[in-house]
């Protein structure tokens, strides 16, 4: 049985089950079994696919692009440096700033992989809905992505890191050669287990968005229905589940007036086969990757509390302050039609930026947060707290030892 025949059968059965589950309303899957939907093993075929590598998709170029992954046959993650993202501009403009990419370039790996995976697993062992959650309606999308990423993408793109077992022609599992672990190709029925496995082997965060229900008041908008977000930057992912794009971005200055309409339209019109990417940046006063708060201005800082602002500025430790950036991608799954928003988080020493000769450029970009038509962005990113110290350092190494 070909991959797509097997996948189509799985998808149809899962979709039928998911539609029945919708009657449960706004229900969350949680780790606590008393809150889970009762699953039956008979809903999933008993055997995984065979002949995965040779499968073709009836000539549909959009769906075929999800199979035709360009391999990196000699890729060595140990010698691959993290991507350097430097997306800052002299003036901040609130735009999507997207560019096209390929499905092959969806997930990057580098020499931080093993350390990051260990951190992600520590988070998975101690946190629950803060980092992983799913609404029943997202089950087909999560299953589809799980099946594709482990059966097609990883072994095709990174054959030196992941290999199908016991053989590429009749696989039942994927071997992670870095951790020496076996990943079942048959997706766990519970989408939470799918998300946990994805998060434990891939150093990207994934969010699944689906169109609003037909009779919803949020007409023609996309809603976050599932996520594995281990490295949030100043927000609690649990507060975003089942919210529209507009609701999720409510704290962002001028989002509603400048970007909401175009974002909603772009998400609605995103075709299968197109993959886009963008990058964002900020400066954070902590090196932590899992940050639920503190990246954006506190009530005292935003309210102009002089004493609170002075104290916050005094507490800025340049030795712990870093440039933080995200490489973000968006694509539509060909089976479920869900949109998958993914991001990989990078942190860079300020000293590295100085040594690159881009200290002045970043300092100007920090000062430009208050310009470009979104005045509130400077306060939103807490630049009123760390901006003065960081700019002085970038321009002359003042206030701290250059690390890196």
Query: Angle formed by the axes of helices 113-126 and 191-201, to 10°?
Result: 150
Which of the four pLDDT bands, split at 50, 70 and 90, describes residue 91?
confident
User: pTM for this one?
Assistant: 0.83
Q: How far is CA 194 from CA 2, 59, 103, 145, 300, in A?
A: 22, 29, 21, 9, 41
CB 50 within 8 A of CB 260: no
Cα dihedral sign, 143-15-239-333: positive
Q: What is the DSSP letter of 324?
A: E
Task: Write the pLDDT tens digit of every residue in 326-384.
Answer: 999 999 999 999 999 999 999 999 999 999 999 999 999 999 998 877 778 888 889 99
**Maximal C-alpha separation, the chain:** 69
Strand locations in 304-396, DSSP E?
322-332, 339-349
The pLDDT value recorded for residue 185 is 98
Task: Write the pLDDT tens digit of every residue in 14-58.
Answer: 444 343 333 333 333 333 332 333 222 222 322 333 333 333 455
Task: Write the pLDDT tens digit of every residue in 137-190.
Answer: 999 999 999 999 999 999 999 999 999 999 888 999 999 999 999 999 999 999
Burial of 271 (0-12, 13-18, 19+ CB in 10 A): exposed
CB 82 within 8 A of CB 90: no
Q: How many CB atoms lie within 10 A of CB 2?
A: 16
Q: Quickly list DSSP for 54-97.
A: T---TT-HHHHTTT-PPP-TT--GGGPPPP------SS------
- 9 pLDDT higher than 70: no
Give the list of residues 6+ apart from residue 307 with CB closer than 8 angstroms, or none: none
The pLDDT value recorded for residue 260 is 86
Q: Which residue has the higher pLDDT, 351 or 298?
A: 351
Give the list of residues 6+ apart from residue 394 with CB closer than 8 angstroms, or none: 350, 353, 354, 359, 360, 362, 363, 366
* Dihedral-angle region of residue 195 (phi above 0 means left; psi in -120 to 50 means alpha; beta otherwise): alpha
Q: Distance between CA 223 and CA 242 in Å, rounded?
A: 6
């Amino acid at each position: 049985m070909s991959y797509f025949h097997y996948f189509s059968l799985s998808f149809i059965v899962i979709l039928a089950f998911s539609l029945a589950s919708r009657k449960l309303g706004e229900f969350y899957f949680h780790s606590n079994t008393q809150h889970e939907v009762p699953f039956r093993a008979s809903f999933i075929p008993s055997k995984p696919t065979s002949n995965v590598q040779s499968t073709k998709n009836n000539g549909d170029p959009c769906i075929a692009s999800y199979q035709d992954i360009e391999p990196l046959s000699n890729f060595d993650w140990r010698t691959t440096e993290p991507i350097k993202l430097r997306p800052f501009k002299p003036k901040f403009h609130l735009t999507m700033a997207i560019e096209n990419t390929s499905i092959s370039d969806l997930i990057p790996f580098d020499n931080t992989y093993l350390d990051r995976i260990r951190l992600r697993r520590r988070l998975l062992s101690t946190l629950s809905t803060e980092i992983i959650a799913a609404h029943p309606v997202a089950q087909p999308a999560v299953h589809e992505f799980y099946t594709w990423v482990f059966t097609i993408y990883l072994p095709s793109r990174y054959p030196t890191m992941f290999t199908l077992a016991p053989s590429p022609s009749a696989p039942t599992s994927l071997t992670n050669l870095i951790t020496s672990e076996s990943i079942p190709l048959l997706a766990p029925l519970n989408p939470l287990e799918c998300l946990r496995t994805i998060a434990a082997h891939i150093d990207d965060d994934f969010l699944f968005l689906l169109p609003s229900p037909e009779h919803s008041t949020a007409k023609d908008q996309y809603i976050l229905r599932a996520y594995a977000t281990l490295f949030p930057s100043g927000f609690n992912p649990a507060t975003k589940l089942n919210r529209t794009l507009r609701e999720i971005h409510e704290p962002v200055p001028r989002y509603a007036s400048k970007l909401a309409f175009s974002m909603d339209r772009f998400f609605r019109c995103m075709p299968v086969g197109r993959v886009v990417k963008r990058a964002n940046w900020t400066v954070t006063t902590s090196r932590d990757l899992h940050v639920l708060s503190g990246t954006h201005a506190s009530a005292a800082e935003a309210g102009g509390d002089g004493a609170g602002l002075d104290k916050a500025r005094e507490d800025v430790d340049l030795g712990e302050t870093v440039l933080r950036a995200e490489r973000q991608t968006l694509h539509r799954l060909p089976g479920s039609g869900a949109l998958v928003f993914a991001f990989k988080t990078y942190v860079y020493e300020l000293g590295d930026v100085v040594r690159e000769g881009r200290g002045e450029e970043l300092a100007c970009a920090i000062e430009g947060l208050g310009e470009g038509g979104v005045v509130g962005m400077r306060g939103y990113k807490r630049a009123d707290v760390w901006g003065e110290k960081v700019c002085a350092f970038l321009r002359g190494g003042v206030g701290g030892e250059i690390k890196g």
